[in-house]
Every structure is written in structure tokens, then in C-alpha cells.
Amino acid sequence: MYEENDDILGQVTTSEYKYGFVTDIESEDAPKGLNEDTVRYISAKKNEPAWLLEWRLKSFRHWQTMEEPTWPNVKYPPIDYQDIIYYSAPKQKIAPNSLDEIDPELRKTFEKLGISLQEQKRLTGVAVDAVVDSVSIATTFKEELAELGIIFCSMSDAVHEHPELIKKYLGAVVPPTDNYFTALNSAVFSDGSFCYIPVGVRCPMELSTYFRINAANTGQFERTLIVAEAGSYVSYLEGCTAPMRDENQLHAAVVEIMAMEKAEVKYSTVQNWYPGDKEGKGGIYNFVTKRGICQGAHSKISWTQVETGSSITWKYPSVILKGDHSVGEFYSVAVTNNYQQADTGTKMIHIGKNTKSRIVSKGISAGRSNNSYRGLVQVGRNAGNARNFSQCDSLLLGDKCGAHTFPYIEVKNNTGIVEHEATTSKIGEDQIFYCNQRGIDTEAAVAMIVNGFAKEVMNQLPMEFAVEAQKLLAISLEGSVG
């Protein structure tokens, strides 16, 4: 770990959002705007079965009856849903049969992002599904995983290759009607990843999906579905970046996780969508619904997120603890700088007996940003001996930013124990001076103090991504002190 720490210090001096480039590729877009024809267009592009088109249309009709939520502690001008392109696909000659057939420009894009689509690079031990704008362009290690019965493919492929599974589980954890953005997503979702781990299988490598918005004026609406059968295990990671653009772009994703008896799913996110510039211009609206259900007894779902990007983040990765003795965890670091806004947290819904949940949230605010933790812990009538522990810490850099905590606790069974601790601290001038006096400059000192603050969460990340995440924290706070 020592070596890595030094690299981070070195990285702090490199500035700006380094993923902001645009790849010059031709794309095929749906006409701007949203109506039933848009939904039909997307479904037709993907050659979808009739039931799925119906499902989309139903979602769309429901969405039309809904109102955009206004309760989050964030501010933004009204979104014109008719001014967005809902489908944009990089124009590839044909669907690539092998990784060698991928458009070289796209391949270069992923190389620039530091993501290997070369299966030869086995050392990384990570299987990747790469999604650009509305479509998945490549999934690596597919065959190797298939030997174990693991399905890891794009959502579009899954619809054709595993229709029975998709039909059974799509929307089973997050119904289309759940909220405004899930209804929208269900109507127009374009791609995403599907992952199925059969009974008793421990997935031998990290599975990851890398999302990239490239085209202008488009929204990204992907869905991820993970089904972990009894006794299985999988660790999943999602990463995302987008070019720098002056206008805001909407990202409304849905992630669903189903964990059967004794299954364990670890889901990690390193969210680094373009955050907008220093004046708050541009950036991604990241309105995401993530939910897992611990369906079987002794199952476990763990969410870890490092949120540094997006101009606005609205997301509450949640766990429904249905199976007895099931465990839900939420580890979060949310960084906001300049004019970024984040309203994020979790819901732990205890239904089964002896269920446990743990929430560790670390909010870091700098500049004129606003960072809110919003969390619900609910203990149902039959959830005997439920336990929850929540720890919400906020760290402030400077005095123009805000940190807020909104914990909601509902306990309907008096054998439950729910604990909540919260702290707010400022990076002290004396801490920075102490570092300076040891030859560590202020930028590096801030990076160090912030990483120390977030350590408990960073430790939850898979090794392969922990280093990148540490760097991200440092970079996203550049220039925020002194």
C-alpha cells in the first residue's frame, strides 16, 4: 500500500477532469423527444419480443401520470424531456463476433480510460462489459465464465439468449412504477449488464460494467440485473465517465439485485460522471435507483459507492432484508466540490428475523457544494431482533459548502436495536500546517486527510479499484483549500 499512496500524492498535481474527451465516431440516433414512437423505435432497434415492448409501453404510460420528485435537497432548472435523444448507438458495421472487430476508435477510447478489452490481459482478473451511450459494445471473458454456468452479458443479448430469466426478474426488485425515474428508465432503457450466478458458484473474477456517455444531447438509461442463486458469490463493479459538455445530460439508471439463500453480492460503484465546470456549468444529472433484495435466509448484499462525479446525484442504494438472518451493508463516500450537489444515502428495510444492516456514510463537501445524507432504516413488525448501525460523518473543506443529514428511523418491533451516530468536522488549519511542517504541501495534505477520513469505506473496494478511487478523491478536491 505504501507505494500506492505516493502515486496518489503525485497525481494530485495533475488537474482537471481527465476523462472529458469526445470520441469521434458516427452514431445512429433516435429522433429527439419522447413519445410512444420513441419507445417503439428503441424496442424495434433491439429486435425485442412483444412482451418487452408491452412492458416498456406500460411503463411509459405510467410515467406520463407521474411528477418529478421535488423532495431531494437539490436545485436544478426544469428538465425538458422532449429535448433529449433517448437512443444513440455507435455505428458499428456489424455486431462484433470477437473483440478484434470492435471499432478501433472505440477501442482507443477504452484504452484512454484505462480499461482493457483485451482478454489476453488476464492479469487484471476483471471481466468487463463496456457500454457506450445506449449499447453494450463488448463483454470480455464471456466464454470462461460460461464454463462455470455464469452468465455475464449485455442486457440486449440477455433478452434474446435468456428470455425466461429476464422475464422472471426484470422489474422484480425495482418495479417500473417505483418512482418517476424508474418509470422513465423502464420505458426507454437501452442496454446494461445482466449477470447470473448459478447455485453454489463463486464467481472467480470481478465482474464490471463500464459506462461511457459519448454522444451529445443524449440521456443514458441503462439497467443492470444481477441474480445470485443459492450459495453463490459475486463481486461486481461499475464505473462511469462522460465528456465535458456545457449542457447537462441525464443519466437515469436502474440496478436490481436478487440474492437467494446464503448468496452474497458485493456491488461497488466508482461514479465519476462529468461534474460540470468550476462555475457549475454542465455536468451529468445522476438520478439512479439501486435496490437489492435478500430473498433467501443468510444472504448478504453489500453496496459500496465512491461518488465523485455528476453535477447532481440522487441515489439511495437499498436493501430489502427479507430472508431471516440476512445482512445489508451500505458504504458510501460522496464528494462534492464547486457547485456539485448530492443527495444520497440508503434504505435498509428489515422484514426477516435476525436481520442486520450497517451503514457507513462519509460525505465530503468543498467549494460551494451541497452534500446530503438521506437514509431510512425500517424495522417491520415481524423483524424480531433486527440490528442496525449507522455512522454518518461529514467533512467540510472551507465555509461555503453545506453538509446535511436526514436520518429516518421507523421501528415497528421492539426487539430491534437501531443505532445512529453522526459527526461533522472541518479539515483543520492545524492539521494542514502539521503536514506542511513535514514537507507535505497543502494539496497533498488535503488528499491525505480526506483519504484517511474515507478509509473505512475505501477499504471495502476491491483492490483493483481502491487505488483509482483514492486518486479520484484527491483529484476531485483539487484547488478546494488554500
Which residues contact another protein by CB under 8 A?
Answer: 1-3, 5-6, 9, 428-431, 433-442, 444, 448-449, 451-456
CB 380 within 8 A of CB 410: no
Q: Which amino acid is it at 202? A: R
Q: Give the nearest distance from C-beta 461 to another protein in angstroms.
A: 15
Pick the closer one to another protein by CB: 175 or 479.
Answer: 479
Q: Which is nearer to another protein, 213 or 396 (CB)?
A: 396
Q: Which amino acid is at 99?
A: L
Question: Nearest approach, Cβ of 447 to another protein (angstroms)?
Answer: 10
CA dist 65 → 56, 59, 72, 252, 369 (Å): 15, 10, 20, 18, 33
Q: Rounded to whole angstroms, how far apart are CA atoms 332 and 317?
A: 10
CB closer to another protein, 93 vs 438: 438
Cα(222)–Cα(288) distance, integer angstroms: 10
Contacts 24+ apart (CB under 8 A), 94-102: 96/137, 96/138, 99/138, 99/140, 102/137, 102/138
Q: Smallest distance, Å, CB 44 to another protein? A: 52
Residue 123 C-beta: closest distance to another protein, Å:
21
- Minimum CB separation of residue 331 from another protein in Å reads 14
Q: Could you give the angle at which helices 463-476 and 2-11 cross, rounded to 10 degrees?
A: 30
Nearer to another protein, 201 or 446 (CB): 446
Interatomic CA distance for residues 126 and 29, integer angstroms: 31
Between 360 and 418, name the residue whose CB sits nearer to another protein: 360
Task: Indicate the residue among 117 and 469 with the shorter CB distance to another protein.
Answer: 469
Dig out the grid coordinates for 331 from the structure. 458504504
DSSP letter for 30, please. P
Q: What is the Cα–Cα distance from 306 to 458, expressed in whole angstroms?
A: 8
Which of residues 4 and 247 has its CB atom nearest to another protein in the complex? 4
d(CA 121, CA 401): 43
CB of 12 or CB of 319, closer to another protein: 12
Q: Which amino acid is at 183?
A: A
Q: Where are the alpha helices (DSSP H) in 67-134?
A: 104-112
How near is the Cβ of 477 to another protein at its closest, in Å? 15
Q: Of the two residues 270 and 333, which places its CB atom closer to another protein in the complex?
A: 333
Crossing angle of helices 180-188/36-45, nearest 10°?
50
Q: What is the 3-state secondary structure (H, E, C) of 368-402?
A: CCEEEEEEEEEECCCCCCCEEEEEEEEEECCCCCE
Quick one: DSSP state of residue 78? P
CB atoms within 10 A of CB 381: 9
Question: Could you tell me how many residues make up the chain?
Answer: 482
CB nearer another protein, residue 125 or residue 452: 452
Q: Smallest gap, in angstroms, from Cβ of residue 308 to another protein?
A: 17
Closest approach of Cβ 286 to another protein, in Å? 26
- 331 contacts 457 by C-beta, under 8 angstroms: yes
